[in-house]
Structure 1
Amino acid sequence: MRFKIINNAEEKTYALVMEPGDEAISSLQAFCESEALTAARFTAIGAFRSAQLGYFDWEKKDYEKTPVDEQVEVLSLVGDVALHEGRPKIHAHVVLGKRDGSACGGHLLHGIVRPTLEVLLVESPGYLKRKLDPESGLPLIDIGA
């Protein structure tokens, strides 16, 4: 993965370009850790050779996993970064386009890039923290922290 700061104002903006074979979430996680990001938002487009989506099952308090084992277009990938237990945590949702024009989407758990994923990430000047929500069992952004 390569990156370049494209805006160094109060909100730093990075352009990240992932390469074939990169795993999107772990690559983004490693970047956020290397840059010590505490709060950010991002969008991306590109394509995956395969992916795994998640749908949060409220009753089970866990994600139902849906494999996508085909080449797909990343029509929209949006998410945020906030601190959880002292580390940046990625929260990403994606809409994927299939060859036949149909789409599927959900929480992006895993995505193998092919041929590219172009991410614009904007670092926020403040910081956000996540706190475990007892009702859902998820680490949600705590605006009051």
Structure 2
Amino acid sequence: MEVSLAPSSLVVARLHPGEELLESIKNLSRKYSISGGLVVAIGGLKHLEMGVYKVGKYDVQSFDAGEGETIELTSAIGSVALDEKGDPSPHIHVTASLPNHQPVSGHLIKGVVSPLVEVFIVSASGTLRRLPDQSLGLPALTA
């Protein structure tokens, strides 16, 4: 299910089991010609990879839900902008609850949906760019 409310700048999508969260945000941004905006999501995952940035790289941890379990995506928030090639570049941070109720949080690297994720993208009226910033060694949001 996807809903685009015209003339509103809100896109709402329900992701299905097996879909990858970042790729889905990129695909929705392409489909609705979103060149910058705010992303919010909640739902459930069966696989989660997240990182914490440490001088030039991400320290990544992976989590998997067992059979009949869910990693609760309690909050995902971030932005989408266009990279140097003009492709959507989401930057999302997440907070999740593992099946044992342990909270985890960080920069979203990968999230595989199960049973569903609800995504909301509020489109900006202009174009945002995420371009390499040599002083940071990272792509950074620019107007």
Residue 138, structure 1, aligned to residue 133, structure 2: no
How many pairs are equivalent? 138
Rounded to whole Å, the distance in 2 between the matches of 1:33 and 1:5 is 13
Residue 20, structure 1, aligned to residue 17, structure 2: yes
Rounded to whole Å, the distance in 2 between the matches of 1:6 and 1:68 is 35
Rounded to whole Å, the distance in 1 between the matches of 2:6 and 2:115 is 26
Q: Hey, which bits of structure 1, 4+ residues long, moved more than 4 A?
A: none
Which residue is equivalent to 1:77?
76
- TM-superposed deviation, 1:101: 2.0
Among 49, 52, 64, the residue aligned to 2:59: 64
Partner SS for 2:136: coil
CA offsets per residue over residues 35-87 of structure 1, 9 Å max, x none?
A: 221101111110100111111112xx111211112231000000101111111
Rounded to whole Å, the distance in 2 between the matches of 1:119 and 1:27 is 9
Rounded to whole Å, the distance in 2 between the matches of 1:41 and 1:124 is 8
Rounded to whole Å, the distance in 2 between the matches of 1:98 and 1:6 is 34
- TM-superposed deviation, 1:7: 5.2
Which residue is equivalent to 2:110?
110
Contact 1:94-1:106 at 8 Å conserved across structures: yes
Rounded to whole Å, the distance in 2 between the matches of 1:24 and 1:62 is 21
What residue identity is the alignment partner of 1:84?
D
What residue identity is the alignment partner of 1:115?
P
Identity %: 28
- TM-superposed deviation, 1:133: 1.3
Gaps in structure 2 of 5+ consecutive residues: none
What residue identity is the alignment partner of 1:67?
S
TM-score of the two chains, using structure 1 as the length reference:
0.89
RMSD: 1.3
Rounded to whole Å, the distance in 2 between the matches of 1:107 and 1:51 is 11
Rounded to whole Å, the distance in 1 between the matches of 2:131 and 2:38 is 18
Rounded to whole Å, the distance in 2 between the matches of 1:72 and 1:64 is 20
Which residue is equivalent to 1:97?
97
Partner SS for 1:8: coil
Gaps in structure 1 of 5+ consecutive residues: none
What residue identity is the alignment partner of 1:68?
F
